[in-house]
Amino acid sequence: MPTIEHSPDHIAHKLVTNTGSPARIYLAGETLTVPTKPYRSGTPPTIELSVSHLDAVIERADVVDGGHNVAGFGGLHIPASEWERTGLGRHWNADGAAVGEPFSNTARRLEVWASREDALYESERDDWSFDHLEPVPETSPLVREWEPLANDGPDRPPVPLSTPELVLSVLHAEDAASRTSGFDRLEVGRIDGIEILDELEVWPTEPEVETVDIDPSPRHPRVDYDALDPLPQTDDVLAVVHAINRHAKRFDTEADRAYRIGDGARARVYSLKKKALYRTKTVAVHRLVKMDPERTRVARHDLNGVDEMYCFYFGDEYSFHQPIPAVADELLDDIAADDLETTAIDFEPSAEMQDLEYSLDEALCFLASHRLDATDYLDATAVEDYDRGVELSTTFDCLETDNPTDSSHSDR
């Protein structure tokens, strides 16, 4: 008769002490909840399937956090035949699944997670019992690695583990949002029992997928300094570049806010606009310098001990930071910027709009009238919102005309 362990602590003990062994994992409720489509943004659609067990190899399971948790990140390796039989691979076969794409987790593995933290927090000392440890030997890592939270705490876990969860890293779609906010991790089931096996009919292997070659868009625009038209160093032009910089920071803040509330599509729109504005600023700075290199001063700053950047000064009022890789060597040669010493400064970029002389639309149209169109630096002109079934534009409204070169402002 096979030995099937059912208590959470004994299941965890078997997992952490049988690394490399095949095992049969019995599922609570004989149910798996599997995704039917790859991750795009938000939680992917799922269905419940009747599955009593799955066979796997225990590749990793550890007692962590002083014995308060048991974790196996990618800990259960599933054979290909089991992956398909149980339905875990269903979303791999859906349209748009990025099998073989970079940045997509093409692995037939499940994470394992069990915790005592909630039970310990909700319990009183009078409630503590060690009955849950009766099937667990004294030499078990669950006992040996226990660290009480207080000096007078018990010498072993006084509350049981939660029923171990099985978590799947959902394969991404080709057009998935870049920040997932955890929506691509899905609890598919819980472990109700475990049986250590001597052998598997089919052992797990890594999937044979063809890696897709990609040409990612550059973080900074490619600037041909010698071919650039100069941009006048006038108050109007400098105020416009200043406005573009502020609005880029605003889009960065709004993207973070959208990601935190789970609106991945809207966050992607803001992120694309932010990148386009920062790239526009980079080109503008190069063109400003080219107009009058002798009037341009440059310094090298260490910002908050995190980033090193060049800072270009135009007159007494305006200065613009640029990442070091974004600046063309020809520009540095033009202003004789050799052997600059780095100065450490505290820096907090501002997204305040009240003191700007130009709105975003005004600034964009102004630059377009000088043959600098922010639309040229967008990585995509639309983002698909699969949760709402709509497409969100990333373009700038004021530049969507046939002739965006007219500006209501002229250089002063």
Greater confidence, 175 or 170? Answer: 170
Residue 339 falls in which region: left (phi positive, over 0), alpha (psi -120 to 50) or beta:
left
Q: What is the pLDDT of residues 272-298, one digit of tens each?
A: 999 999 999 999 999 999 999 999 999
The b-or-e profile of 348-382 (16+ CB within 10 A means b, else e) is: eeeeeeeebebebebbbbbbbbbebbbbebbeeee
Provide the percentage of residues in the chain whose pLDDT is more than 70: 90
Q: What does pTM read for this prediction?
A: 0.55
* β-sheet bridge partners, residue 341: none
Angle, vertex CA 280, rays to CA 274 and CA 352, nearest 5: 50
Count CB-CB contacts under 10 A for residue 109.
23
CA distances from 5 to 29, 34, 164, 191 (A): 16, 25, 13, 10
Higher pLDDT, 90 or 3: 90
Q: Across-strand partners of 321?
A: 311
Length of the chain in residues, anyone? 412
Average pLDDT over residues 312-330: 92
* Close Cβ partners of 371 (under 8 Å, ≥ 6 residues apart): 229, 405
The stretches of 217-349 forming alpha helices (DSSP H) are 235-260, 264-291, 329-334
What three-state secondary structure class fits 261?
A: coil
Q: What is the mean pLDDT of residues 48-66?
A: 95
> Tell me, what's the pLDDT at 181?
64
**pLDDT at residue 32 is higher than 80:** yes
CA distances from 96 to 91, 171, 350 (A): 10, 10, 39
For residue 136, pLDDT beyond 70? yes
Asked if the model's pLDDT at residue 201 lies above 50, the reply is: yes
- Taking the C-alpha atoms of residue 134 and residue 26, their distance in angstroms, rounded to an integer, is 21
Give the pLDDT confidence score for residue 289 in this predicted structure.
95
Query: Which stretch, 254-263, 292-301, 341-350, has highest mean pLDDT?
Result: 292-301
CB 392 within 8 A of CB 386: no
| 179 pLDDT higher than 80 | no
Which of the pair, 88 or 176, is modelled with greater confidence?
A: 88
Q: Please report the pLDDT score of residue 40 as a whole number.
A: 87
Q: What is the mean pLDDT of the chain?
A: 87
State phi, psi for 253 to the nearest 5 degrees: -65, -40
Q: Degrees (nearest 5) of the Cα angle 29, 35, 36?
A: 120
For Cα atoms 342, 345, 351, give the angle at the middle one, nearest 5 degrees: 125
Q: How far apart are CA 256 and CA 268, in angstroms?
A: 10
Tell me the average pLDDT across 97-125.
85
The pLDDT value recorded for residue 345 is 81
pLDDT score of 152 more than 80 = no
